[in-house]
Chain A
Amino acid sequence: MVDIDRANEKALKTLLEARPFWVDIQPAIDIVPGMKKNLILHSGPPVTWERMCGPQRGAVIGALIYEGLAKSPEEAEKLAASGEIEFDPCHHHDTVGPMAGIVCASMPMIVTENEAGGNRAFNSLNEGIGKVLRMGAYSPDVIERLKWMEDVLGPVLQKAIRKAGRIDLKNIMAQALHMGDELHNRSRAASYILFAKIAPYILETMEDLTKTNEALKFQEANIHSFLGFAMSSAKASLDAASEIEGSSMVTVMARNGTDWGIQVSGLGKQWFTGESPVPDVLLFPGFKKEDVGRDIGDSAIMETYGVGGSAIAAAPAIIQFVGGTVQLAQSKTMDMYEIALGENNVYQIPALDFRGTPTGIDIRKVVSKNLPPFIDTGVAHKDPGVGQVGAGLCDAPMEVFKKALVAFADKYAK
């Protein structure tokens, strides 16, 4: 009989030893495994066009227009439904995508390498907040921004990172947790640190002042610019700890706005899914409860990695999401220790006397304590074409952990 505790020790050790670096920027078509012109990657577990939620549909429409495969939203919808376009989860391609998680051939991708495991993971560059593709918006200004990112931002960052060689992302994340980030809903500090680290190389490789300045301004204004780097770091780290025989550690938590799914190390790449819940949201002005879409995005990889909601006690600026007091935020993090295999050796929470963040979610603990992980997340409008409506919290549905545990027992209990 397999020794689950030992398998989990190995999985956690692999996760903790992972050392993600930013090493390159490249178009998806050149770097993402299996990427092709008519393939669109999306967040969460597999989903068909028919079952896709509003924001994800909106983002697909935007992506088809952006790729020049459709000229209008109507044409894009028709194309998406025609069967000519293939859909596949980002997670099937070493990739993670925020919110709708749409990745298509031309997008410039962050290339992150886990030095310890030698594996890579990819994520798109962050577009900023408000009306953006990842939130399901596809208006001309959204497409225009994507084009600019492809033509200007991507190349500027590519030259800079190639000059820099590599940048230690784990180190930045560790610092940011000391500076009020929890690295999912708030990555302001990490964004600034990365900006400061790459800026000299941007200047060193500058060819055009106007374009460079545009890129710098964009990065400065985008408080979420680090999120893509954080997510690809988490993905690269967790991938190294996946498929360890006998381990009950969660390696993927991902949502597509229709389904909420997880993968478990000892159960390989099998998805366990349930209906995606509607998050508890603080709305931006002008939006109402009825506007809120179901929980969406691969960004739950941050909680899987042991930060994000699990580290909410590190981020006083956003504690309003968990009830508005520092104590409640700390209590939320304390809860997450209950379902974690261990504590992080690098990521710490100052307010908890620099205790390591709860890391490595164990499906056995989740089910036996009836205590699901929670995600602190951005929230999209339920309809295509609108964008972000707010941010909030979402408990993972217990159902997916129960299903996984049953499968785990089937496989390992003899």
Chain B
Amino acid sequence: MFVIGIKKSGEYYDSVTLMLASRDLLETEGVDDAAIVMGTEENLQLLKGSGLLTEEMSGAGDTDLLIAVKAADEKLARETAGRAEEILRESKRKRAEAGAHLPRSLEGAVKMMPDANLVVISVAGRWAGDVARDALKRGLHVMLFSDNVPIETEKELKELGREKGLLVMGPDCGTAIINGAPLCFANVVERGEIGIVAASGTGLQEVSSVIGNRGGGISQAIGTGGRDVKDSIGGIMFLEGIKALAADEKTRVIVLVSKPPDAGVIDKTAAAIKEIDKPVVAILIGGDPVVLKEAGAHPADDLEQAGLIAVALARGEDPDGFREELSRRAEEIRKTAKAEATKMKDGQVHLRGLFSGGTLCDETQLLCRETIGPVYSPAPIDPAYKLDDIWKSRENTVVDLGEDEFTVGRPHPMIDFSLRKKRIVEEAADPSVAVILLDVVLGYGSHPSPGEELAPAIAEARKRAAKEGRHLTVACSITGTALDPQDREKVNRELAEAGAVVMPTNAAASLLAVEIVKIRRGGE
């Protein structure tokens, strides 16, 4: 054992800092004992008692800093003593780095921000109900991001919300725009006159983005969670949302977005529409909008159209005015499809859709069913087309990688692209694949630079196919606006540079994909 002692005159540190530094030294392997103290009489006695008092310290007084290290050998002792000085210098530089205080409960949060009137809840589903109930009792609107909330709890919460005149958005509600603030996964859209009620997350994102990109604006975009439009909940918040927008002075046009509601909810929605003197646009992905049409709603065929109709109505223009424009674009898309398809090799006939947005995946399935026939999927419209192995595509396949079975142990594909990148390359290796269809969802919550993530995989996929003499089309849609934090233009450029054909909406990208399949199958 070797003991080293250092005396530094005129350096003062408070005792707690010195204790902290000592603790640091003591944790060093091979250091038996260490002390950093001011040279008071009491401390000198302590050092003496622990065998740390050395000759160098003789004559030390109150204003002298003493460093003593007892270690296995001299070298370690000297190094450790040197580090003590470093630690002390560091302590002087140390500043508060921690961020602002984070409350530990809803109660604490409300105390910190007493004017708040909406709370986003994302605790585990098992506990989310209790927190939401607490919030409603405190008079707060609720956005319930959590999933796995029991349906009975959802119903109870929504009934309580209705009774108190409060919104309960969710459970499993991933997006909303309230008073101009994008919540959770949401796009940045100017404020405006179009209100949305959506039982579909990416449906809301796509419609609001289309509206924003068309120069329109959003008054409020209210999410309800997908189960709201089932009879078990009875559309409580879907209907409350409609009511709220009907009463909202800033909302001039209302857009309803949903997967097909249960019959009871459709009827109630139709009844509600009849009561409203504002124009209503309805997009029921895969549902028959005839009841709503009879009630006076403008039905839309896809999400893009819903947005375009809404903007036209808000401007007092012909709601069908965009149709000519879209048919011109469809012509362009067919030309592109033809150009792509002619470069392909025999046997390249299939479409593979790899989605991060569930509603976008559904929308594509529907378009396929009407054009190239049913496609395989883990969640197909036609049960006969259920994919046996979700990890392996067959023929025409579309998968939503945001489904629970894919997200076990990893983040949602809007945030983590690793699974999709891997799958893109796998699909490209299949000689029967003609086109890979991707959605890229921008906005808050999503990956900050999806272009940089996807571009290498797209390039790699195309390169591998090319090596085997195949031209592979990668069709990408972008859901998002120029105001989104990711910079839509930059993403667009990155994807295009990687060789993808970039389309403004999922409807357009899906059309391109099915047109290619149609041509490749021949006879059309």
Contact = CB atoms under 8 A, between A and B. Distances in A.
Contact of A286 (B16, B17, B23, B33): B33
B245 to A, nearest CB: 36
Interface residues of B, number: 37
Given A337-B108, A338-B105, A369-B104, A324 B33 contact: no
Given A321-B16, A338-B104, A130 B42 contact: yes
B500 to A, nearest CB: 46
Given A285-B36, A338-B103, A338-B107, A324 B94 contact: yes
Contacts of B285: none
Given A320-B16, A320-B17, A325-B96, A286 B46 contact: yes
Contacts of A317: 14, 16
A88 B172 CA distance: 57
Contacts of A337: 108, 111
B98 A331 contact: yes
B26 interface: yes
A284 interface: yes
Nearest to B48: A286
Interface string B96-131: 111111111101100100000000000000000000
Interface string A259-293: 00000000000000000000000111110110000
A328 B97 CA distance: 9
Contacts of A360: none
B28 interface: no
Nearest to A313: B101
B104 A326 contact: no
B46 A285 contact: yes
Contacts of B111: 337
Interface in B1-45: 14, 16-17, 19-20, 22-23, 26, 33-37, 42-43
A185 to B, nearest CB: 10
Contact of B20 (A324, A327, A334, A371): A324
B292 to A, nearest CB: 45
Contact of B52 (A130, A286, A327, A371): A286
A335 interface: yes
A390 interface: yes
B95 interface: yes
Contacts of B17: 320
A318 interface: yes
A68 B98 CA distance: 55
B106 to A, nearest CB: 10
B59 interface: no
B522 interface: no
A187 interface: no
B50 A285 contact: yes
Nearest to B105: A369
B523 interface: no
A335 B50 CA distance: 39
16 contacts: A282-B19, A283-B22, A284-B19, A284-B46, A285-B35, A285-B36, A285-B37, A286-B47, A286-B52, A288-B26, A325-B94, A327-B101, A328-B98, A331-B98, A337-B111, A365-B107
Given A285-B34, A286-B52, A368-B105, 20 more contacts: A285-B22, A285-B47, A285-B68, A288-B26, A317-B14, A320-B16, A320-B17, A320-B20, A321-B16, A324-B94, A325-B94, A325-B95, A325-B97, A326-B96, A327-B98, A327-B99, A327-B101, A331-B101, A334-B101, A369-B105
